């Protein structure tokens, strides 16, 4: 059967794609549909065709799947954020578990992997879990101020002040900032004309400390915000408001934050804890967005590392040292490597603040620092932890890791496909996958986080 753009079809959704989209088949031809779930029968319009597959848009759900639920958020569909909110949470978890399992089997070539997988760690309450929000500010066609989020793949702002995955305090913050802007005639930034002042409202919440930060991203400086003290007084009414600051961003850019920060009230950072480790978090710091599940994830990494206090551990792609400091609680010595200098500044600061003298950090590419230190200084590791970005580990890095013969490798991953690819290499070089756990860090999105323990087969024999 030939398909054409704009053609209307009816089909059953029988599979789920990598981004959480529904997949249906007609005569073997696969069609990808956003907002459709396995078990739905839908009427859809074809929007794009390729030789072996195409894309369609759901026009009407003819028979809903039994796994379909009413999204809690009324604008879940246009929003680019939660791609899975219409999918029963239990099913989301099953989907994520199987995604990891399938990758490990098909790409990693691991047989019988399910027996080594722990049940997925889901959230008890998969809402209001994020500690970081960045709301764009603009005006609608009638000139009213709007804030919320960009509709998927566009820069059209959809007004939405109650996001069901953000901390509830955000709604109150947005009301206060917009009320201040209206009263004091503070303009919203317009990216087409590069005019106007407020670009984004960025917030951070410490889930353990209760500390809250509001950072206004301004096309100008704090001096341009008239009667700013009125806003400060209003925001201070919120329990836990310890940090109000301005981020200067006068560039014509899609980047949300500029480099310069101006303090307005309190320091330009808040504190939070993951487990017993305290972290200082500024507007520019990278910090995991789901602190509750991050604790679950790092505790798994720590458990898999099996430390008794005598080990030397390398934490590669260490960011602000979150995992490194977690490990430093139980290891003799931890070395962290990270490419972003500012992140390493944070890591050193956090190490000092927590009183860890056994954590040292290197700025650079993991695939350059580790081979260099191995060649030059003959460095050693009992355990190596990696937490690379989605593209996974560099081949040169894996090579050096294998040469260093650590007893254990703990692989934390945000992309099961590259995880599986790298595990296959490690398995081919004397390592064996022992345990796998999947942790749901990003409920209602298709992102999957997992931790794998690999052990050195030779050491085991010895
Ligand atoms: N483990 C940290 C961060 C993991 S995110 C945490 O849990 O908070 C991955 C990190 O790898 C990012 O901080 C990114 O800046 C860093 N990165 C990316 N490429 C890198 C490379 N080639 N070498 C070292 N670090 C890299």
Q: Is 319's C-beta closer than 6 angstroms to any atom of ligand 1?
A: yes
Domains in the chain, CATH or no CATH each: 8-63 (2.40.50.140), 95-124+290-461 (3.40.50.150), 132-274 (2.40.50.1070)
- Inform me whether the pLDDT recorded for 461 exceeds 70: no
Task: Give per-residue burial for 286-303: e unless 16+ CB within 10 Å, then b.
Answer: ebbbbbbbbbbbbbbbbe
Atom of ligand 1 nearest to the CA of 287: 8
The response to whether residue 322 sits with its C-beta less than 6 Å from ligand 1 reads yes
Does 315 score more than 70 pLDDT?
yes
Reported as a single tens digit per residue, the pLDDT across 242-273 is 999 999 999 999 999 999 999 999 999 999 99
Ligand 1 site, residue 339, Cβ cutoff 6 A: yes
Residue nearest to atom 16 of ligand 1 (CA): 317
Q: What whole-number distance in Å separates Cα of residue 53 and Cα of residue 70? A: 29
Of the listed ranges 1-10, 105-114, 408-417, the one predicted with least confidence: 1-10
User: How far is ligand 1, taken at its centre, from the CA of residue 319, in Å?
Assistant: 5
Tell me the pLDDT tens digit for each residue of 68-100: 999 999 888 888 788 899 999 999 999 999 999
Asked if residues 454 and 426 have their Cβ atoms less than 8 Å apart, the reply is: yes
Query: Of 176, 199, 175, nearest to 187 (Cα)?
Result: 199
Q: Is the CB of 346 under 6 A from ligand 1?
A: no
Substitution site in 290, 320, 339 for ligand 1 pocket (most atoms within 8 Å of beta carbon): 339
CA of 157 to the centre of ligand 1 (A): 30
For residues 271 and 306, what is the distance between their CA atoms, to the nearest angstrom? 28
Q: At what angle do helices 395-404 and 366-377 cross, to 10 degrees?
A: 30
Q: Give pLDDT, residue 460.
A: 54
**Distance between Cα 390 and ligand 1 center (Å):** 10
Q: For the chain, give the mean pLDDT.
A: 95
High-pLDDT (> 90) share of the chain, %:
90
Interhelix angle 416-427/89-106, nearest 10 degrees: 30
Q: Hunting for tokens 């398995």 — which residue is that?
A: 427
**Cα(145)–Cα(186) distance, rounded to whole angstroms?**
10
Report whether residue 387 contacts ligand 1, using a CB cutoff of 6 Å.
Answer: yes
Pairing of strands 41-49, 8-16: antiparallel
Q: What is the mean pLDDT of residues 427-433?
A: 97
Gap from CA of 134 to ligand 1 centroid (Å): 21
Residue 5: which residues within 8 A CB-CB, separation 6 or more? 46, 47, 48, 49
Cβ of 389 closer than 6 Å to ligand 1, yes or no, is yes
**What residues are annotated to the active site?**
414
């Amino acid at each position: 059967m030939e398909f054409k753009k704009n053609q209307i079809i009816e089909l059953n959704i029988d599979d789920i794609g990598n981004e959480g989209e529904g997949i249906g088949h007609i005569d073997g031809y696969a069609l990808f549909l956003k907002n459709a779930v396995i078990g739905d029968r839908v009427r859809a319009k074809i929007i794009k065709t390729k030789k072996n597959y195409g894309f369609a848009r759901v026009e009407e759900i003819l028979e809903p799947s039994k796994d379909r639920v009413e999204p809690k958020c009324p604008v879940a569909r246009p929003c680019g954020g939660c791609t899975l909110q219409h999918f029963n949470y239990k099913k989301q978890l099953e989907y994520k578990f199987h995604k990891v399992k399938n990758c490990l089997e098909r790409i990693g070539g691991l047989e019988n992997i399910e027996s080594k997988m722990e049940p997925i760690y889901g959230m008890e309450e998969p809402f209001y879990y994020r500690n970081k929000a960045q709301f764009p500010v603009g005006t609608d066609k009638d000139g009213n101020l709007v804030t919320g989020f960009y509709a998927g793949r566009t820069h059209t702002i959809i007004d939405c002040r109650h996001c069901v995955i953000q901390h509830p305090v955000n709604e109150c913050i947005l009301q206060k900032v917009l009320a201040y802007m209206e009263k004091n005639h503070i303009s919203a930034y317009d990216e087409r004309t590069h005019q106007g002042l407020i670009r984004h409202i960025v917030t951070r919440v410490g889930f353990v400390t209760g500390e809250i930060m509001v950072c206004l991203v301004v096309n100008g400086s704090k001096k341009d915000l008239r009667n700013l003290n009125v806003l400060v007084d209003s925001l201070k009414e919120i329990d836990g408001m310890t940090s109000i600051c301005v981020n200067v961003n006068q560039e014509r850019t899609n980047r949300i934050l500029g480099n310069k920060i101006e303090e307005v009230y309190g320091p330009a950072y808040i504190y939070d804890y993951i487990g017993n480790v305290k972290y200082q978090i500024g507007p520019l710091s990278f910090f995991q967005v789901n602190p509750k599940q991050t604790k679950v994830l790092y505790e798994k990494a720590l458990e898999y590392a099996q430390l008794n206090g005598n080990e030397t551990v390398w934490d590669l792609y260490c960011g602000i040292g979150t995992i490194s400091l977690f490990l430093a609680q139980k290891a003799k010595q931890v070395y962290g490597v990270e490419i972003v200098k500012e992140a390493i500044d944070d890591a050193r600061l956090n190490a000092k603040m927590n009183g860890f003298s056994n954590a040292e950090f290197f700025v650079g590419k993991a695939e350059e620092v580790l081979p260099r230190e191995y060649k030059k200084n003959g460095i050693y590791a009992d355990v190596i932890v990696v937490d690379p970005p989605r593209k996974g580990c560099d081949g040169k890095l894996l090579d050096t890791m294998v040469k260093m013969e650590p007893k254990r490798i703990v692989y934390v991953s945000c992309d099961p496909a590259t995880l599986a690819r790298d595990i296959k290499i490690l398995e081919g070089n004397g390592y064996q996958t022992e345990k796998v756990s999947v942790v749901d860090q990003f409920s209602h999105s298709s992102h999957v986080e997992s931790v794998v323990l690999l052990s050195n087969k030779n050491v085991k024999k010895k």
